[in-house]
Amino acid sequence: MTARTDHPELHVRGAAIADIATLAHHRVEMFRDMGQLTEHNERELARASETFFREVLASSEYIAWLAVTIGAPERVVAGAGLWLRPMLPRPTPTGIIQGREALIANVYTERDWRRRGVAALLMRHVLDYTRQHDVPRVLLHASDDGRPLYESLGFEPTNEMKLGPPILK
């Protein structure tokens, strides 16, 4: 993953196994900010996320980028990830697409860095990767706060629905 210099205060680098705690922290904070996490579940989500990230980073199924400050590169201010997975062949107006699809996940910016273009910077890295690696389909689940950014990048609402949990009663 190449570094870009689109933000004067930040450097973007690829996440590594050593960054798993940071990725899990971002996941916890993201769900907390959306009002979908109780204090009771924070530790469990952090542990489960660390286990997940350890597995998928090692297998290269998940790729993540972190924005760090230039003056203090240990200070991670934001992150974004891409979960690559097999896609069922599907029709499009121009033909059949198949191969891998990507789910953008875990996009999070620390509060004191919001509204400064950091998420947009990370999304450019994510989308550059999908183009460079011929990933034909990219999905994401947008929070209300994130929706304007994703729409500005060309993402459109879909017909997705969900069921869960609990699924069985």
CATH number where 71 lies: 3.40.630.30
97: β partners: 90
Given this model, what pLDDT does residue 16 score? 97
This prediction's pTM: 0.90
Helices marked H in 2-113: 20-33, 42-58
161 within domain boundaries: no
What average pLDDT does range 60-76 have in this prediction? Answer: 95
Cα end-to-end span (Å), the chain: 45
Q: Token digits for 47?
A: 């542990």
140 within domain boundaries: yes
**For residue range 7-28, what is the model confidence (pLDDT) as tens digits?**
889 999 999 999 999 999 999 9
What average pLDDT does range 21-38 have in this prediction? Answer: 95
| Cβ-based neighbour number of residue 66 at 10 Å | 24
* Cis amide leading into 166 (omega within 30): yes
Q: Considering its fold, how many domains does the chain have in total?
A: 1
Residue 120's domain spans which residues?
10-152
Whether the pLDDT of residue 81 is over 70: the answer is yes
Given this model, what pLDDT does residue 43 score? 95
Whether the pLDDT of residue 95 is over 70: the answer is yes
126 within domain boundaries: yes
52 within domain boundaries: yes
166 within domain boundaries: no
133 within domain boundaries: yes
105 within domain boundaries: yes
Distance CA 152, CA 32 (A): 25
